[in-house]
Structure 1
Amino acid sequence: MGRPGARVVASCIGAAFLLVTGCSSNSDEDQAITIAPATAAQSPAQGTAPAGVVHPVGLPIESTTFDPETRTTVVLSGEGNEILLFPAGDFTAAPRTIPLDGAVAQVSLAPGGVALLAMNTQVGRLDLRTGEVTFVPADGDVRSVAQLSDGRLAMGLGNGEIHIVNTETNESQVIDGLTSVDGLAVVGDSLTALDRGQTSVTAVDVPGSALGVALRAGEGATQLTTDHYGRILVTDTTGDELLAYTTDTLMLRQRFPAGLAPYAVAYDDTADRAWVTLTGTNEVVGFDLSSGVGVETARYPTVRQPNSVTVDTVNGDLLIGSATGDGLQQIPTRSS
């Protein structure tokens, strides 16, 4: 028996496939069409010296996140059970180390200098100023987490559920229908979910406790980020493309080749540049999206296996993490 809310590919809208609910007369018979979730490509050995400066970290890096409120760079170890905090762009001094009892699947930011940690059966709230971690219980394996505009937490679970939790009242609601919730994007009052198993993005109707419009996201979507225009940028690692969606009504607005196996993505709101790492070639590429078609503006060689990227929004430096333990790369991108 299929799960309530499961969707199937029904029709094509431009370059995106629309996923709809209830194509069968009996919704219990609907089956979600899934694929093996895409991952970063296994990067080749480096043939070119990385641009900028590479800071030794001593461990593989799973993710890098920059918090503008505290000017802290949050580095998640490859094992997921340790976080390194680098203050104010200083990568020469020893970082503050935060050990954790469990593995973190994803790091996201919340207002007030807080990093949210998606973990199995809980979400960690890491105060980036003090290093203190508190935990919010969760009913399942949390793969992604985001704070909504009203302060509630949206937790994306590995079983396809989205849990909306009010941490002050302990009230919660469950929205079902995806195969896995691997990323969550908040734009204003809207919430959008990335499902790698269905390589789709789906609008989430939080007040109605239901899934909304869902669009096919290329051939194998992996990562997402947002920008100050309210767009959601998604890397299609299998299809070698970058996709840009708007959220007033979820719609694919741009789709263009990004390079071989694009994976991590970040946006510099000041310079209006999207930055995408290419795990197939050990490169990071900058794109100007203003013309409606992505125009390449810069390309730099990176550390091996560049599975994460973030932008220091104060000075525009790119911070790229090597998942093979080759360090944290810092690339200045704004002319002095």
Structure 2
Amino acid sequence: MRPVGSLAAGLVALAVLTGCSGDGSGPDVPTREPAAPAAAPEPAVPPAGRTALAGSSYTLLAADPGSGLLAAATGTRLDVLDPGADPLAVARTVTLPGAAAALVQGRPGEVLAAVPGAVVRVALGAGTSTEVPVDAEVRSVAPGPDDTLVVGTGDGQIRTLGPDGATRATADGLVSADALAVVGGEVTVLDRRQSMIAELDTGADRLGLGLRAGDGATTLLADPLGRVLVTDTDHGELLVYTTAPLVLRQRFPVGSAPYALAYDAGSDTVWVSCTQSNEVVGFDLGTGIPVEVDRRPTVRQPDALAVDARTGDLFVASAAGGGVQRIAATDRKRGQ
């Protein structure tokens, strides 16, 4: 498959990656400092919807689709939030063994936290946790097929762990493996230091095709339709890929340092936080090109997003003490 029109100019194949020599130093390639969300100003207008937990700061947010419980984390603190409470409240707190670099859905009722030296399985209902040791700086994690875990490390490895925690396969070749998405049997990994994404089969020991992802890619998310979404924070764009093979399909200017991503399957809408302007923007991807369908003011520094799969409510977490904002799906439908 090939991209069409102007996308061909933006599709840059980095080559089929063969992996490094195994000395742990990573490939000898040009790198950059990883892009980061913009330092947001004080909000110019009040946030949309309702805001709770004033004074709290969170950099990571994940929602359990079954229970609707939210996991909100910053550093070693993980708060389980109950969206059924009015207002939104902390139901319980879990202390992680290290600062969380990633937080994603795991098995039903749990989230997976990537911390240095481990993946932590957190049961949201009970507030209990179990560590899966990894002898590396874990930067990213995603659930794989057959109860496996796919883990990305700070030195660019992608490891497949079995249900017993044992390493089944290791693929090298990146500088850092900062975000992961698993679609079927395909893994897509984001390397922020190269601003690129690459693909491999789950359980494989060799990377496949790699593509440049803008000029400062930061966040990666797969949706249920098999698309892989990437925010290019430095260049202000939303990039949409398909996999197997990896192809850039859509490229849309967002501006305002886009960073966090969340997907609402009920409306086929991807939400993007704009950290420079304290906004969240919704794009409909169903027409072949992203179409902006909604834009709302947020709490300051909207570095994390999540959608409640049961209601379609959008949650926005502030990394600057603004708490957690809830924008109800029913309010959006009324244009409020």
* Fold shared by both chains (TM-score > 0.5): yes
1:308 is matched with which residue?
304
Q: Within 2, Cα distance between the matches of 1:91 and 1:238?
A: 37
Report the alpha carbon displacement of residue 218 of structure 1 after superposing the two structures with TM: 0.5
- Give the direction of change, closer, same or farther, for the CA distance of 1:164–1:30 in structure 2 (3 Å limit): closer
**In the TM superposition, what are the counterparts of 1:58-69 in structure 2 within 5 Å?**
58-69=55-66
Aligned equivalents of 1:213, 1:159: Cα separation in 2: 19
Identical residues among aligned pairs (%)? 41
Q: Which runs of 5+ in 2 are unaligned?
A: 1-6
1:46 corresponds to which of 43, 46, 52: 43
Give the structure 1 partner of residue 113 of structure 2: 117
Q: Where do 1:67-146 residues align within 5 Å?
A: 67-77=64-74, 80-90=75-85, 92=87, 93-146=89-142
- Could you tell me how far apart the structure 2 residues matched to 1:169 and 1:134 are? 11
1:33 to 26, 30, 35: 30
> Are the structure 2 counterparts of residues 169 and 278 from structure 1 closer, same or farther at C-alpha, using a change threshold of 3 Å?
closer
Distance change (3 Å), C-alpha of 1:137 and 1:250: same
Indicate conservation of the 8 Å contact 1:185/1:232, yes or no: yes
| 1:254-293 pair list within 5 angstroms | 254-293=250-289
* Counterpart amino acid of residue 211 in structure 1: L
Secondary structure (helix, strand or coil) at the match of 1:46 reads coil
Contact 1:55 1:91 in 2 (8 A): no
Question: Which of residues 130, 150, 153 is equivalent to 1:154?
Answer: 150
Aligned partner of residue 272 in structure 2, secondary structure: strand
Report the TM-score, using the length of structure 1 for normalisation. Answer: 0.90
Q: Cα deviation per residue 1:16-52 (whole Å; 9 max; x = unaligned)?
A: 21111479xx9x9973221111000111121111111
Deviation of 1:319 (Å): 0.3
Distance (Å, rounded) in 2 between the aligned partners of 1:124 and 1:230: 26
**Counterparts of 2:28 and 2:100, CA distance in 1:** 30
Question: How many pairs were matched up?
Answer: 320
- Give the secondary-structure state (helix, strand or coil) at the position aligned to 2:221: strand
Paired residues for 1:120-269 under 5 Å:
120-168=116-164, 170-269=166-265
**How far is 1:169 from its partner?**
6.8
**Deviation of 1:94 (Å):** 3.9
Question: Per-residue deviation at 1:91?
Answer: 5.3
| RMSD, aligned α-carbons | 2.1
Q: CA deviation at 1:13?
A: 4.5
- Identify the structure with the greater strand proportion: 1
